[in-house]
Structure 1
Amino acid sequence: MKRIMIIGSGGSGKSTLSKQLGRVLSIPVHHLDAYFWKPGWQAVSREEISAIQQQIFEKDTWIIDGNYSATMDKRIEAADTVIFLNYSTARCLYGIVKRRIQFHSKTRPDMGQDCPEKLDLEFFMWVASYQKNKVPIVREKLKVANKIQLLEFKNPRQTKNFLKNLS
Protein backbone atom coordinates (compact mmCIF):
# COMPACT_ATOMS: atom_id res chain seq x y z
CA MET A 1 0.00 0.00 0.00
CA LYS A 2 1.86 3.00 -1.34
CA ARG A 3 -0.65 4.73 -3.62
CA ILE A 4 -3.98 4.78 -1.84
CA MET A 5 -7.29 6.17 -3.03
CA ILE A 6 -10.07 6.67 -0.46
CA ILE A 7 -13.65 7.15 -1.65
CA GLY A 8 -17.10 7.17 -0.11
CA SER A 9 -20.06 9.38 0.61
CA GLY A 10 -19.75 12.75 2.23
CA GLY A 11 -19.73 12.25 5.99
CA SER A 12 -18.22 8.76 5.81
CA GLY A 13 -14.90 9.84 7.27
CA LYS A 14 -12.62 9.80 4.22
CA SER A 15 -10.48 12.70 5.45
CA THR A 16 -10.21 11.33 8.97
CA LEU A 17 -9.17 7.91 7.68
CA SER A 18 -6.66 9.39 5.25
CA LYS A 19 -4.97 11.39 8.02
CA GLN A 20 -4.84 8.35 10.31
CA LEU A 21 -3.54 6.12 7.53
CA GLY A 22 -0.98 8.72 6.53
CA ARG A 23 0.39 8.76 10.08
CA VAL A 24 0.50 4.97 10.37
CA LEU A 25 2.15 4.43 6.97
CA SER A 26 4.17 7.68 6.83
CA ILE A 27 2.63 8.56 3.48
CA PRO A 28 1.68 12.12 2.40
CA VAL A 29 -2.05 12.84 2.33
CA HIS A 30 -3.87 14.87 -0.32
CA HIS A 31 -7.47 15.98 0.24
CA LEU A 32 -9.15 16.65 -3.11
CA ASP A 33 -11.53 19.14 -1.49
CA ALA A 34 -8.55 21.29 -0.50
CA TYR A 35 -7.45 21.44 -4.16
CA PHE A 36 -10.92 21.69 -5.71
CA TRP A 37 -12.33 24.58 -3.67
CA LYS A 38 -10.84 28.05 -3.94
CA PRO A 39 -11.72 30.71 -1.34
CA GLY A 40 -15.44 31.36 -1.07
CA TRP A 41 -16.40 27.93 -2.38
CA GLN A 42 -15.29 28.66 -5.95
CA ALA A 43 -14.64 25.42 -7.83
CA VAL A 44 -11.56 24.93 -9.99
CA SER A 45 -11.90 23.64 -13.54
CA ARG A 46 -11.85 19.94 -14.40
CA GLU A 47 -8.55 20.54 -16.20
CA GLU A 48 -6.99 22.11 -13.11
CA ILE A 49 -8.01 19.31 -10.75
CA SER A 50 -6.76 16.75 -13.31
CA ALA A 51 -3.39 18.52 -13.56
CA ILE A 52 -3.07 18.64 -9.76
CA GLN A 53 -3.80 14.94 -9.50
CA GLN A 54 -1.29 14.17 -12.26
CA GLN A 55 1.42 15.89 -10.20
CA ILE A 56 0.48 13.75 -7.19
CA PHE A 57 0.54 10.56 -9.30
CA GLU A 58 4.17 11.22 -10.22
CA LYS A 59 5.20 10.73 -6.59
CA ASP A 60 6.12 7.29 -5.24
CA THR A 61 3.65 7.35 -2.37
CA TRP A 62 0.38 9.15 -1.72
CA ILE A 63 -3.04 8.95 -0.17
CA ILE A 64 -5.80 10.81 -1.99
CA ASP A 65 -9.22 11.20 -0.43
CA GLY A 66 -12.25 12.42 -2.30
CA ASN A 67 -14.81 11.31 -4.83
CA TYR A 68 -14.84 13.55 -7.92
CA SER A 69 -16.17 10.94 -10.31
CA ALA A 70 -14.93 12.94 -13.32
CA THR A 71 -11.34 12.06 -12.37
CA MET A 72 -11.94 8.80 -10.51
CA ASP A 73 -10.82 6.60 -13.40
CA LYS A 74 -7.38 8.22 -13.45
CA ARG A 75 -6.99 7.71 -9.70
CA ILE A 76 -8.02 4.06 -10.01
CA GLU A 77 -5.40 3.58 -12.73
CA ALA A 78 -2.66 5.17 -10.63
CA ALA A 79 -3.56 3.56 -7.28
CA ASP A 80 -2.40 0.24 -5.89
CA THR A 81 -5.11 0.29 -3.20
CA VAL A 82 -8.67 1.62 -3.14
CA ILE A 83 -10.49 1.99 0.16
CA PHE A 84 -14.23 2.37 -0.29
CA LEU A 85 -16.09 3.60 2.79
CA ASN A 86 -19.51 2.27 1.87
CA TYR A 87 -21.38 3.23 5.03
CA SER A 88 -25.14 3.49 5.47
CA THR A 89 -26.97 6.64 4.46
CA ALA A 90 -27.97 7.30 8.08
CA ARG A 91 -24.33 7.08 9.23
CA CYS A 92 -23.17 9.51 6.54
CA LEU A 93 -25.98 11.99 7.20
CA TYR A 94 -25.01 11.88 10.87
CA GLY A 95 -21.41 12.54 9.82
CA ILE A 96 -22.22 15.67 7.82
CA VAL A 97 -24.46 17.10 10.55
CA LYS A 98 -21.83 16.40 13.21
CA ARG A 99 -19.15 18.01 11.04
CA ARG A 100 -21.34 21.08 10.47
CA ILE A 101 -21.75 21.54 14.23
CA GLN A 102 -18.07 20.84 14.98
CA PHE A 103 -16.76 23.30 12.37
CA HIS A 104 -19.53 25.93 12.55
CA SER A 105 -18.26 29.10 10.81
CA LYS A 106 -14.77 27.56 10.48
CA THR A 107 -12.88 26.00 7.60
CA ARG A 108 -11.97 22.34 8.12
CA PRO A 109 -8.26 21.49 7.90
CA ASP A 110 -8.93 19.24 4.88
CA MET A 111 -10.88 21.89 2.97
CA GLY A 112 -9.87 24.70 0.65
CA GLN A 113 -8.86 27.97 2.31
CA ASP A 114 -11.70 30.32 3.31
CA CYS A 115 -14.42 27.72 2.74
CA PRO A 116 -16.30 27.74 6.05
CA GLU A 117 -18.25 24.58 6.79
CA LYS A 118 -21.78 24.66 5.44
CA LEU A 119 -24.63 22.25 5.06
CA ASP A 120 -27.00 23.13 2.27
CA LEU A 121 -29.93 21.18 0.86
CA GLU A 122 -28.05 20.23 -2.31
CA PHE A 123 -25.21 18.56 -0.38
CA PHE A 124 -27.64 16.94 2.08
CA MET A 125 -29.56 15.43 -0.83
CA TRP A 126 -26.33 14.30 -2.52
CA VAL A 127 -25.40 12.37 0.63
CA ALA A 128 -28.96 11.09 1.09
CA SER A 129 -29.00 9.69 -2.47
CA TYR A 130 -25.38 8.46 -2.57
CA GLN A 131 -26.26 4.78 -2.07
CA LYS A 132 -28.86 4.85 -4.84
CA ASN A 133 -27.21 7.17 -7.34
CA LYS A 134 -23.44 6.98 -6.80
CA VAL A 135 -22.61 3.52 -5.45
CA PRO A 136 -23.63 1.78 -8.73
CA ILE A 137 -21.36 4.16 -10.67
CA VAL A 138 -18.48 3.58 -8.23
CA ARG A 139 -18.93 -0.19 -8.47
CA GLU A 140 -18.89 0.00 -12.28
CA LYS A 141 -15.69 2.07 -12.25
CA LEU A 142 -14.05 -0.35 -9.81
CA LYS A 143 -14.74 -3.37 -12.07
CA VAL A 144 -11.72 -2.48 -14.19
CA ALA A 145 -9.51 -2.26 -11.12
CA ASN A 146 -8.30 -5.85 -11.19
CA LYS A 147 -4.62 -5.06 -10.48
CA ILE A 148 -5.32 -3.22 -7.25
CA GLN A 149 -6.24 -4.14 -3.73
CA LEU A 150 -9.86 -3.15 -3.04
CA LEU A 151 -10.91 -2.76 0.58
CA GLU A 152 -14.57 -2.01 1.25
CA PHE A 153 -15.74 -1.14 4.74
CA LYS A 154 -19.44 -1.09 5.59
CA ASN A 155 -19.15 0.60 9.01
CA PRO A 156 -16.70 2.55 11.15
CA ARG A 157 -15.93 -0.53 13.28
CA GLN A 158 -14.50 -2.35 10.25
CA THR A 159 -12.40 0.69 9.39
CA LYS A 160 -11.14 0.99 12.96
CA ASN A 161 -10.19 -2.71 13.04
CA PHE A 162 -8.32 -2.28 9.74
CA LEU A 163 -6.29 0.61 11.19
CA LYS A 164 -5.66 -1.27 14.41
CA ASN A 165 -4.31 -4.27 12.50
CA LEU A 166 -1.98 -2.02 10.49
CA SER A 167 -0.46 -0.43 13.58
Structure 2
Amino acid sequence: MRKIAIIGSGGSGKSTLAGKLGIILNLPVFHLDAIFWKPGWKPIEREALIKANQSIVEKDAWIIDGNYGSTMDMRLQHADTIIFLHYRTTVCLYGIVKRRIQFHNKTRPDMGENCKEKLDWEFFQWVRNFNKTKAPVIYEKLSKFEGKDILVFKNRKDLNLFLQNLKRSSSTN
Protein backbone atom coordinates (compact mmCIF):
# COMPACT_ATOMS: atom_id res chain seq x y z
CA MET A 1 0.00 0.00 0.00
CA ARG A 2 1.97 2.95 -1.35
CA LYS A 3 -0.59 4.76 -3.50
CA ILE A 4 -4.05 4.83 -1.97
CA ALA A 5 -7.17 6.47 -3.40
CA ILE A 6 -10.07 6.92 -0.98
CA ILE A 7 -13.52 7.58 -2.41
CA GLY A 8 -17.05 7.67 -1.01
CA SER A 9 -19.96 9.90 -0.20
CA GLY A 10 -19.63 13.16 1.65
CA GLY A 11 -19.80 12.45 5.37
CA SER A 12 -18.41 8.92 5.04
CA GLY A 13 -15.10 9.82 6.69
CA LYS A 14 -12.70 9.86 3.72
CA SER A 15 -10.48 12.59 5.16
CA THR A 16 -10.44 11.06 8.62
CA LEU A 17 -9.45 7.70 7.14
CA ALA A 18 -6.76 9.33 5.01
CA GLY A 19 -5.25 10.93 8.09
CA LYS A 20 -5.28 7.67 10.05
CA LEU A 21 -3.73 5.73 7.16
CA GLY A 22 -1.11 8.44 6.72
CA ILE A 23 -0.01 7.97 10.33
CA ILE A 24 -0.10 4.16 10.27
CA LEU A 25 1.71 3.81 6.93
CA ASN A 26 3.83 6.96 7.17
CA LEU A 27 2.60 8.20 3.79
CA PRO A 28 1.85 11.76 2.64
CA VAL A 29 -1.85 12.67 2.62
CA PHE A 30 -3.52 14.93 0.07
CA HIS A 31 -7.09 16.13 0.63
CA LEU A 32 -8.71 17.09 -2.68
CA ASP A 33 -11.08 19.50 -0.95
CA ALA A 34 -8.06 21.48 0.29
CA ILE A 35 -6.72 21.63 -3.28
CA PHE A 36 -10.03 22.41 -4.99
CA TRP A 37 -11.40 25.07 -2.63
CA LYS A 38 -9.57 28.36 -2.35
CA PRO A 39 -10.38 30.98 0.33
CA GLY A 40 -14.07 31.84 0.57
CA TRP A 41 -15.22 28.64 -1.17
CA LYS A 42 -13.86 29.66 -4.58
CA PRO A 43 -13.22 26.59 -6.74
CA ILE A 44 -10.09 26.29 -8.84
CA GLU A 45 -10.35 25.75 -12.58
CA ARG A 46 -10.82 22.19 -13.85
CA GLU A 47 -7.43 22.25 -15.60
CA ALA A 48 -5.69 23.35 -12.41
CA LEU A 49 -7.31 20.46 -10.52
CA ILE A 50 -6.16 18.02 -13.19
CA LYS A 51 -2.64 19.42 -13.11
CA ALA A 52 -2.52 19.24 -9.30
CA ASN A 53 -3.71 15.63 -9.35
CA GLN A 54 -1.16 14.74 -12.02
CA SER A 55 1.70 16.10 -9.93
CA ILE A 56 0.52 14.10 -6.90
CA VAL A 57 -0.03 10.75 -8.66
CA GLU A 58 3.47 10.93 -10.15
CA LYS A 59 4.96 10.80 -6.63
CA ASP A 60 6.32 7.51 -5.23
CA ALA A 61 3.71 7.30 -2.49
CA TRP A 62 0.51 9.06 -1.50
CA ILE A 63 -2.94 8.89 -0.01
CA ILE A 64 -5.55 10.98 -1.79
CA ASP A 65 -9.08 11.39 -0.46
CA GLY A 66 -11.95 12.79 -2.46
CA ASN A 67 -14.16 12.04 -5.42
CA TYR A 68 -13.96 14.82 -8.04
CA GLY A 69 -15.08 13.03 -11.18
CA SER A 70 -12.79 14.99 -13.51
CA THR A 71 -9.74 13.40 -11.90
CA MET A 72 -11.07 10.17 -10.40
CA ASP A 73 -10.01 7.93 -13.29
CA MET A 74 -6.46 9.28 -13.12
CA ARG A 75 -6.21 8.57 -9.39
CA LEU A 76 -7.75 5.12 -9.67
CA GLN A 77 -5.38 4.16 -12.50
CA HIS A 78 -2.29 5.19 -10.55
CA ALA A 79 -3.41 3.76 -7.21
CA ASP A 80 -2.30 0.34 -6.04
CA THR A 81 -5.08 0.38 -3.41
CA ILE A 82 -8.57 1.82 -3.78
CA ILE A 83 -10.77 2.21 -0.74
CA PHE A 84 -14.47 2.86 -1.30
CA LEU A 85 -16.43 3.89 1.78
CA HIS A 86 -19.90 2.81 0.73
CA TYR A 87 -22.03 3.46 3.78
CA ARG A 88 -25.79 3.77 4.15
CA THR A 89 -27.18 7.15 3.21
CA THR A 90 -28.33 7.84 6.78
CA VAL A 91 -24.76 7.32 8.07
CA CYS A 92 -23.37 9.85 5.58
CA LEU A 93 -26.13 12.38 6.22
CA TYR A 94 -25.41 12.08 9.93
CA GLY A 95 -21.72 12.59 9.12
CA ILE A 96 -22.25 15.87 7.28
CA VAL A 97 -24.60 17.24 9.94
CA LYS A 98 -22.20 16.23 12.73
CA ARG A 99 -19.31 17.83 10.84
CA ARG A 100 -21.32 21.04 10.39
CA ILE A 101 -21.93 21.24 14.13
CA GLN A 102 -18.38 20.22 15.11
CA PHE A 103 -16.72 22.79 12.83
CA HIS A 104 -19.33 25.55 13.13
CA ASN A 105 -17.74 28.83 12.07
CA LYS A 106 -14.37 27.05 11.59
CA THR A 107 -12.42 25.64 8.68
CA ARG A 108 -11.78 21.89 8.82
CA PRO A 109 -8.12 20.79 8.69
CA ASP A 110 -8.79 18.92 5.41
CA MET A 111 -10.43 21.89 3.71
CA GLY A 112 -9.13 24.85 1.76
CA GLU A 113 -8.00 27.86 3.76
CA ASN A 114 -10.76 30.16 5.01
CA CYS A 115 -13.58 27.83 3.92
CA LYS A 116 -15.70 27.82 7.03
CA GLU A 117 -17.83 24.71 7.38
CA LYS A 118 -21.23 25.01 5.76
CA LEU A 119 -24.06 22.73 4.81
CA ASP A 120 -26.24 23.80 1.94
CA TRP A 121 -29.22 22.11 0.34
CA GLU A 122 -27.32 21.21 -2.84
CA PHE A 123 -24.65 19.29 -0.91
CA PHE A 124 -27.26 17.65 1.32
CA GLN A 125 -29.07 16.43 -1.80
CA TRP A 126 -25.79 15.23 -3.35
CA VAL A 127 -25.11 13.09 -0.26
CA ARG A 128 -28.75 11.95 -0.11
CA ASN A 129 -28.61 10.74 -3.73
CA PHE A 130 -25.02 9.41 -3.72
CA ASN A 131 -25.94 5.73 -3.34
CA LYS A 132 -28.52 5.94 -6.13
CA THR A 133 -26.58 8.01 -8.65
CA LYS A 134 -22.84 7.92 -7.89
CA ALA A 135 -22.21 4.51 -6.28
CA PRO A 136 -23.29 2.48 -9.35
CA VAL A 137 -20.90 4.52 -11.54
CA ILE A 138 -18.07 3.94 -9.05
CA TYR A 139 -18.72 0.18 -9.00
CA GLU A 140 -18.63 0.20 -12.80
CA LYS A 141 -15.25 1.96 -12.74
CA LEU A 142 -13.88 -0.43 -10.09
CA SER A 143 -14.98 -3.49 -12.08
CA LYS A 144 -12.50 -2.56 -14.82
CA PHE A 145 -9.40 -2.72 -12.63
CA GLU A 146 -7.32 -5.84 -12.22
CA GLY A 147 -4.26 -6.22 -10.06
CA LYS A 148 -5.29 -3.57 -7.58
CA ASP A 149 -6.41 -4.01 -4.02
CA ILE A 150 -9.99 -2.75 -3.99
CA LEU A 151 -11.43 -2.51 -0.51
CA VAL A 152 -15.11 -1.70 -0.08
CA PHE A 153 -16.29 -0.94 3.42
CA LYS A 154 -20.02 -0.93 4.12
CA ASN A 155 -19.75 0.08 7.77
CA ARG A 156 -17.36 1.71 10.22
CA LYS A 157 -17.02 -1.45 12.30
CA ASP A 158 -15.36 -3.31 9.41
CA LEU A 159 -13.20 -0.30 8.59
CA ASN A 160 -12.03 0.00 12.21
CA LEU A 161 -11.15 -3.71 12.27
CA PHE A 162 -9.14 -3.23 9.08
CA LEU A 163 -7.29 -0.28 10.63
CA GLN A 164 -6.53 -2.23 13.82
CA ASN A 165 -5.12 -5.12 11.79
CA LEU A 166 -3.10 -2.76 9.61
CA LYS A 167 -1.71 -0.99 12.67
CA ARG A 168 -0.72 -4.34 14.19
CA SER A 169 0.98 -5.56 11.02
CA SER A 170 2.73 -2.20 10.46
CA SER A 171 4.14 -2.16 13.98
CA THR A 172 5.68 -5.63 13.51
CA ASN A 173 7.50 -4.64 10.31
TM-score normalised according to structure 2 size: 0.95
**Partner residue, 2:53:** 53
Q: Report the residue type matching 1:37 in the other structure.
A: W
Identity rate, percent: 59
Deviation of residue 146 (structure 1)? 1.2
Structure 2 CA distance, aligned partners of 1:54 and 1:71? 9
Structure 2 CA distance, aligned partners of 1:103 and 1:86? 24
Structure 1 CA distance, aligned partners of 2:12 and 2:119? 15
**Partner residue, 1:135:** 135
Structure 1 CA distance, aligned partners of 2:139 and 2:149? 14
Structure 1 CA distance, aligned partners of 2:42 and 2:146? 36
1:74-110 Cα offsets, whole Å, 9 max, x none, are 0111000000000000000000000000000100000
1:129 alignment partner, SS class: helix
**Partner residue, 2:102:** 102
Structure 1 CA distance, aligned partners of 2:106 and 2:79? 32
Q: Which runs of 5+ in 1 are unaligned?
A: none
Q: Is 1:80 aligned to 2:77, yes or no?
A: no
Q: Report the residue type matching 2:76 in the other structure.
A: I
1:120-151 Cα offsets, whole Å, 9 max, x none, are 00000000000001001111111221121100
Deviation of residue 45 (structure 1)? 1.1
Report how many aligned residue pairs link the two structures: 167
Q: Report the residue type matching 2:155 in the other structure.
A: N
Q: Is 1:166 aligned to 2:162, yes or no?
A: no
Contact in 1 for aligned 2:84/2:153 (Cα 8 Å)? yes
Contact in 1 for aligned 2:50/2:70 (Cα 8 Å)? no
Structure 2 CA distance, aligned partners of 1:46 and 1:141? 21
**Partner residue, 1:8:** 8
Q: Which runs of 5+ in 2 are unaligned?
A: 168-173
Structure 2 CA distance, aligned partners of 1:45 and 1:106? 25
TM-score normalised according to structure 1 size: 0.99
| Correspondence 1:9-28 to 2 at 5 A | 9-28=9-28
Deviation of residue 42 (structure 1)? 0.7
2:114 alignment partner, SS class: coil
1:137 alignment partner, SS class: helix
Contact in 1 for aligned 2:32/2:65 (Cα 8 Å)? yes
Structure 2 CA distance, aligned partners of 1:89 and 1:152? 15
Q: Report the residue type matching 1:59 in the other structure.
A: K
